[in-house]
Amino acid sequence: MIPRHFVISVVVMFAVALGMSSYVWHMRSHARETRPAAAADNRPVAAPVSGPTGQVTLFVANDQTGELRARSARIPLPAGRQAHAEELLRALFSLYLEKNSSHPLGPGSEVRNIYLVDPGLAVIDLNQAFADGHRSGILVEELTVASLAETLSANLPGITRVKFLVEGKERDTLAGHADLSEFYEVSAVNQMVARLQVAQ
């Protein structure tokens, strides 16, 4: 004869197991329903930055006037030059990805990485969406290149050359015009920016 308390314990444990299975099944269904929405969101995800904020100068392109304008902004300033550089360009891209941007970039455009290589070389690795979605034209491509290079060199002293990569690889041109095969000398970019500002 099976003791009564043993039967009661087995029944209670069986009921708890059933309840937990039902709960897990419910949670999995819920997760499956919410996952596609998360995958469709391809907006660039900014890494959480802690620490003090600081004043920086962003060189913002304007397609209407065909010039670069220096604009002050307050952004988080993480420790380390590389993190600082990434935060600078992230701030610049957020301006270009706004709805009424003066120089719109393609959706999903973002900076994958920035490598600061001694002495004075900054390598900017951009994503495929940036290159694929960029508009084609000499000036519009030049403005993008000049804006990125000038913003970096103006805020991070010591950068003398800038190289652009797309998905970690070299590319001949940005969108058919601006040459990306060579290194950009900051001194030459400064001249280019000066001409962009006096051309109007």
Partner 1 sequence: MRWINPSWISSRTNNSRTSRRKTLVPGATWLPVLVILFLASVLLLSGVPDEKRISIYSTVANYSLQVLGRDGADYVGLLEILEPLGEVSARTEGERWKLRYNDVDAEFINEKKHVRVRGKDFDLPTGFHLENGRGLVPLSSLTTLLPRILGGPVTYHDLSRRLFIGSVAVHFTAQVIKANPPRLVMNFSAPVNPMIATEPGKLRMVFTREPVLPTSSLNLTFDSKIILSANYGEINGSAEIAVNATVPLLASFSNNGRTITLAPVAMPATQPQAPQVSSGPPSTPAPALPSQAAPAPRRYFAVVDAAHGGDDRGAALSDQLAEKDVTLAFARRLRQELEARGLTTLLLRDNDSTLSLDQRASTTNSVHPAIYICIHATSEGNAVRLYTSMLPAGSENRGLFLDWDAAQAASHTLSLTAQASLSAELQHAQLPVHSYIAPLRPLNNITTAAVAVELTPSGNDVAQLNSSPYQQAVSSTLASGLASLRTQLETAP
Residues found near partner 1 in the complex (CB under 8 A): 63, 66, 135-140, 142, 145, 173, 175-179, 181-185, 187-188, 191-192, 195-196, 199-200
CB of 103 to partner 1, least distance (A): 11
Provide the angle, in degrees to the nearest 10, between the axes of the packed helices 138-155 and 186-198: 120
CB of 90 to partner 1, least distance (A): 24
CB of 130 to partner 1, least distance (A): 17
Q: Which is nearer to partner 1, 75 or 146 (CB)?
A: 146
Helix or strand (DSSP H, E) at 180: none
Q: Which is nearer to partner 1, 68 or 111 (CB)?
A: 68
List residues bridging with 39 in a β-sheet: none
Measuring CA to CA, how many Å separate 26 from each of 18, 23, 98, 158? 12, 5, 39, 57
Place of tokens 């959480």: 48
Q: Which is nearer to partner 1, 29 or 65 (CB)?
A: 65
Tell me if 126 sits within 8 A of 44, measured CB to CB.
no
CB of 34 to partner 1, least distance (A): 38
Structure tokens at 183: 């290194």
CB of 44 to partner 1, least distance (A): 25
Structure tokens at 131: 């290159």
Q: Which is nearer to partner 1, 84 or 134 (CB)?
A: 134
C-alpha span between 181 and 165 (Å, rounded):
9
CB of 163 to partner 1, least distance (A): 12
Q: Which is nearer to partner 1, 77 or 143 (CB)?
A: 143
Half-sphere exposure of 109 (CA within 13 A, CB side): 22
List residues bridging with 121 in a β-sheet: 117, 161
Q: Which is nearer to partner 1, 9 or 173 (CB)?
A: 173
Structure tokens at 32: 């499956």
